[in-house]
Structure 1
Amino acid sequence: MSTATRGRETGEARCLPLRFWVNVIKNPQFVFDIHKSSITDACLSVVAQTFMDSCSTSEHRLGKDSPSNKLLYAKDIPNYKSWVERYYRDISKMPSISDQDMDAYLVEQSRLHGNEFNTLSALNELYFYINKYKEEILTALDRDGYCRKHKLRHKLEQAINLMSGSS
């Protein structure tokens, strides 16, 4: 395997956890019921940037014009990078599991946690999303023949009205 291919695969392998954790670090309100002040937001931005730099496969050249948040943890980044490298190296050494084992595990998890799903909370989240993009969604429903045939725009408008409390 070439170095370019290995680097690309490593970068692809890091993409999902990096996107997930950076999002959680920058937006703790997605996971916890908290208010994030502007000062906290700035601090979390520095932590998220440090995390991204630690997971990056490229080298960063720092100079006198580099942002202060990059300079703050510059001496620690090589150590963090070695931790990340070891983490992915350890994962690559683990035995892979079969599709059957994965399916069985997911079915078992679904069974164990099936009653934990909060339907009302999910409906509320869907309502906020639909309300935010209401015009775009309604326009898309108008443009689609299948949606027009089944009067999905009208049904969605009824659902929006019910959720918003209007008649």
Structure 2
Amino acid sequence: CGHREPHTLPLRFWVNVIKNPQFVFDIHKSSITDACLSVVAQTFMDSCSTSEHRLGKDSPSNKLLYAKDIPNYKTWVERYYRDIGKMPAISDQDMDAYLVEQSRLHANEFNSLSALSELYFYVNKYREEILTAMDRDSYCRKHKLRQKLEQVINMVSSNS
């Protein structure tokens, strides 16, 4: 089972957002909306998947609904990733500068303390797993990210 899906980000992140918009937006999700979003999420997953799905009369209706469109959607997804692959790499400095500028432009649009609190809650909950993963990653070791994260965790926990 060592096969890894190349489109992990959309399958793990975007499908979750599609199926659970209440995570991002302050809305109520009815059972009808939930059923519709499940169809959209399934279509998205099938479009991003590289494996072939054999469909038959026993296949779930949400897979059959857009089955004829999936090959076209798969082509769009492949073209999207191919186009990204052709783009020049962005340097760490350029990325940092972009994030600083975005932060400045949107500084008044959200509650940064609330966001930091949520991030801290998540990091604290999965502390060991995150720190272990950082120990295994050469980039994280090179830049001493584990130590920096531990400093932040200790600082926040001592102030709260």
The normalised TM-score by structure 1 is 0.64
* 1:66 alignment partner in structure 2: 59
C-alpha separation in 2, matches of 1:23 and 1:103: 27
C-alpha separation in 1, matches of 2:48 and 2:58: 22
* 2:68 alignment partner in structure 1: 75
Q: Does 1:102 align with 2:95?
A: yes
Aligned length in residues: 128
* 2:11 alignment partner in structure 1: 18
State the Cα distance separating 1:48 from its structure 2 match. 0.2
State the Cα distance separating 1:63 from its structure 2 match. 1.1
* 1:44 alignment partner in structure 2: 37
**Residues 104-119 of structure 1: pairs in structure 2 closer than 5 A:** 104-119=97-112
Mark the structure with the bigger radius of gyration: 1
Q: 2:46 aligns with which of 44, 53, 62?
A: 53
C-alpha separation in 1, matches of 2:50 and 2:93: 33
Tell me the alpha carbon deviations over residues 52-83 of structure 1, each in whole angstroms, 9 at most, x when there is no partner.
00000000011111111111111110010001
1:20/1:123 Cα in 2 relative to 1: closer, same or farther (>3 Å)?
closer
Q: Any stretches of 5+ residues in structure 2 without a counterpart?
A: 126-153
More helix by share: 1
The 8 Å contact of residues 43 and 70 in structure 2, kept in 1 or not, is answered as: yes
* 2:142 alignment partner in structure 1: none
**Paired residue type of 2:39:** V
**Paired residue type of 2:54:** R
Q: Percent identity?
A: 85
When the two chains are superposed, the root-mean-square deviation of aligned CA atoms in Å is 3.2
